[in-house]
């Protein structure tokens, strides 16, 4: 394939990506509510395709849950109520950002812990690289004094 | 001594990863364990005219098995359910999930009907309240209507003996 044809093919492939969004987009006329709907779908995990949010997943279950979120928003439920509704049925796993609990302390704390370990290692390495200058022997000190004295007399 | 720390970290990571290999991310613990079965008012598969509520099922422990004629894995576990029903191990209640009456009835006629009755959940409403995400799923419900165990995916003899037989021992078999 010639380079230009290849480039064209790559560009075409890239333009096709956004079409890969989930099917049957339910939408609200009210932009605020639409934004809340989009945000909620991005926060909630599809339990069938576990690495996809409800917004991305094509699974039947994701469609059902999207419909449910839509229905609840339409009835005026708050975001918190909708998330609670999902957690009551599917557990914390349905949330992409699990709440801080005893079982998730490690999950939330690990990045901080790793950062502290990394800083400790860097500090230790830096100290080892630059050893403090060794103290001068008496002979060296005498030579230094002589050199300094020479320098001073030369300047005068 | 110099290598103690990196080696220790390496061993820790290996142990954690090895443990991770044994965990199944598909097994999401249900938040419903220890809670009552969600309320419902539902037609049965056999009789469209009559409806059933949660209270009608209370009073005896049973297995609530979520199934559908379109569910391939349900075929895998079905012989075990038929066998459990035949031996009278425990009462089985079906929850026919997002199915049609004709397909479901034909499926049972083909493969045998182990259920005392099947609830007909055409729109998946009770399935949603039960947090169903991978049919088949099987719930153990005690005589007070409390969910004691949830099995995700096809039930097999080993899982039955390990997880459900002890519950039958504890809560009774519903007979």
pLDDT tens figures, B75-99? 999 999 999 999 988 999 999 999 9
pLDDT for A15 equals 65
Position B130 scores a pLDDT of 93
Give the H or E element holding residue A9.
helix A3-16
Give me the mean pLDDT over the A32-57 stretch. Answer: 88
Band (A20; pLDDT cuts 50, 70, 90) = very low
- The interface pTM score, or ipTM, of the predicted complex is 0.79
pLDDT over 90 (residue A21): no
Cα→Cα distances A138→A142, A148, B173, Å: 6, 15, 95
CA distance A35 to chain B (A): 24
Tell me what percent of the residues of chain A surpass a pLDDT of 90: 31
**In this predicted structure, what is the pLDDT of residue A51?**
82
**Cα B61 to Cα B143: distance, rounded to the nearest angstrom:** 4
A5: left (phi over 0), alpha (psi -120 to 50) or beta: alpha
Residue B11 clears pLDDT 60, i.e. is over it? yes
Q: Which of A44-48, A102-106, A118-122, A129-133 has the highest mean pLDDT?
A: A118-122
What pLDDT does B139 receive? 95
Which of B122, B129, B131 is the best substitution to test chain A (most A C-beta atoms within 10 A)? B131
Beta carbons of B95 and B66 less than 8 angstroms apart: yes
Query: Does position A23 have pLDDT exceeding 60, yes or no?
Result: no
Q: Residue B118 pLDDT more than 80? A: yes
Q: From the centroid of its chain, how far is CA B24? A: 17
CB contacts of B25 in chain A (<8 Å) are 50
Q: Residue B28 carries which DSSP code?
A: P
Note whether A56 and A25 are within 8 A (CB): no
With vertex at residue B127, the alpha carbon angle to CA B124 and CA B128, rounded to the nearest 5 degrees, is 90
In chain A, the largest separation of any two C-alpha atoms, in whole Å, equals: 94
Mean local confidence (pLDDT), A46-57: 86
Residue A16 pLDDT > 70, yes or no? Answer: no
CA distance to A37, B127, B163, per residue, from A84 (Å): 15, 17, 29
What pLDDT sits at residue A136? 81
Give me the residue spans of the domains in chain B: 34-171
Given a contact cutoff of 8 angstroms between Cβ atoms, the answer to whether B98 and B68 are in contact is: yes
CB contact residues (below 8 A), chain B span 4-33, against chain A: 25-26, 28-32
Q: What is each CA distance from B159 to B17, B127, B149, B150, B162, in whole angstroms? A: 25, 22, 12, 11, 5
Q: Does B133 touch chain A (CB under 8 A)?
A: yes
For the segment(s) B34-171, the CATH number from 3.30.230.10, 3.40.30.10, 3.10.180.10, 3.40.190.10 is 3.40.30.10
Tell me which residue has tokens 């995916």. Answer: B153
Reading the block at residue A109, the tokens are 């704390």
DSSP A53-66: BTTT--SHHHHHHH
Side-chain-side CA neighbours of B166 within 13 Å: the count stands at 6
Chain A residues whose C-beta sits inside 8 Å of any chain B C-beta? 47-48, 50, 60-61, 64-65, 68, 87-93
Q: Which of B10, B13, B7, B61 is nearest to B37 (CA)?
A: B61
What integer pLDDT is reported at residue A44 of this predicted model? 92
Beta bridge partner(s), residue B121: B97
- The alpha carbon of A130 is separated from its chain's Cα centroid by a whole number of angstroms, namely 35
- With an 8 Å Cβ cutoff, are A48 and B133 in contact? yes
Most confident region among A125-129, B19-23, B30-34, B117-121 by mean pLDDT = B117-121
More confident residue, B14 or A130: B14
């Amino acid at each position: 394939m010639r380079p230009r044809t290849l480039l064209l093919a790559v560009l075409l492939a890239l333009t096709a990506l956004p079409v890969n969004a989930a099917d049957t987009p339910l939408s609200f006329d009210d932009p605020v509510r639409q934004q809340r709907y989009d945000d909620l779908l991005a926060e909630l995990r599809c339990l069938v395709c576990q690495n996809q949010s409800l917004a991305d997943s094509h699974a039947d279950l994701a469609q059902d849950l999207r419909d449910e979120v839509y229905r609840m928003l339409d009835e005026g439920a708050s975001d918190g109520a909708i998330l609670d509704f999902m957690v009551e049925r599917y557990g914390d796993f349905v949330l992409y950002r699990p709440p801080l609990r005893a079982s998730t302390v490690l999950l939330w704390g690990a990045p901080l812990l790793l950062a502290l370990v990394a800083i400790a290692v860097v500090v230790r390495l830096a100290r080892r690289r630059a050893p403090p200058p060794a103290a001068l022997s008496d002979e060296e000190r005498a030579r230094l004094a002589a050199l300094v004295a020479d320098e001073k007399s030369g300047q005068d | 001594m110099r290598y103690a720390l990196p080696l220790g970290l390496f061993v820790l990571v290996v142990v954690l990863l090895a443990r991770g290999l044994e965990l199944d991310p598909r097994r999401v613990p249900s938040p419903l364990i220890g809670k009552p079965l969600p309320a419902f008012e539902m037609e049965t598969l056999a009789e469209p005219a009559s409806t059933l509520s949660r209270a009608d099922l209370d009073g005896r422990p049973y297995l609530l098995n979520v199934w559908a004629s379109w569910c391939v894995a349900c075929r895998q576990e079905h012989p075990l359910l038929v066998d459990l029903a035949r031996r009278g191990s425990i009462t089985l209640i079906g929850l026919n999930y997002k199915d049609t009456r004709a397909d479901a009835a034909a499926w049972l006629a083909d493969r045998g009907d182990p259920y005392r009755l099947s609830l007909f959940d055409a729109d998946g409403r009770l399935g949603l309240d039960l947090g169903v995400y991978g049919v088949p799923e099987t719930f153990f419900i005690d005589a007070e209507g409390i969910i004691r165990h949830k099995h995700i995916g096809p039930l097999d003899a080993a899982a039955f003996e390990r997880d459900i037989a002890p519950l039958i021992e504890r809560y009774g078999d519903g007979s």
